[in-house]
Amino acid sequence: MDVVEKIKAELSSAPVVLFMKGTPDFPQCGFSAQTVQALRAVGAEFKHINIFEEPELREALKRYSNWPTYPQLYVNGEHQNESYVTHSEPDMDPTAVDFDWQKKYVVNTAEAAAVRTPSRNNWGPIVVPKDEYFVLGDNRDNSLDSRYWQFVPDSLIRGRPMFVYYSYDPDSLDRMSWLTRIRWTRIGERVR
């Protein structure tokens, strides 16, 4: 059974299927924990698949769903959108020289060849070099993160984030946006 057939088999095995990091009793990320908590709060029965135990499926599901992150929740075989991801420009998918750096890191497969020109929404799969990280921002449309600026060397990572200490909206013509466009509701928010 190839990996796409396996995905389809998993999706047809239960009305509600959650591909998550970890297990419902031991989630490995905050978003997986929140999704499990929400499903349990409404009394939903669901099947879970721990993507850490299925590396081939984990990579293939991103292409299958056209969604790059986890958890992924399916109801009756339909992918459910992630409420925590902000899409301020959902109909745009800019391509620019900013993304050309990715070409030399793309995995050499026929599937990857379909991604001719990397863009903000359509990139990879890429190989992250040893001792480096690929970092995504929380606003998929408006984060100048590793999609633009490449990998972050592990030597530059200090500790683990615990809370948001400062956040502002840079999409402003106001020269003082760093001061006048502060996102007060995010300051002090715990990072999961």
pLDDT tens-digit map of 99-121: 788 888 877 765 555 556 777 77
CA distance 101 to 136: 16
Which stretch of DSSP H or E encloses residue 153?
strand 152-153
Record the pTM.
0.47
Six-digit token string for 119: 């863009």
Question: pLDDT value at position 160?
Answer: 77
Strand partners, 87: none
Domains in the chain: ranges and CATH: 3-80 (3.40.30.10), 90-158 (no CATH), 160-192 (no CATH)
Top-confidence residue, 138 or 35: 35
Which stretch of DSSP H or E encloses residue 79?
strand 78-80
Question: pLDDT value at position 17?
Answer: 95
pLDDT in tens, 134-186: 887 766 666 777 777 888 898 888 877 787 777 766 665 666 766 777 777 77
Question: pLDDT value at position 13?
Answer: 94
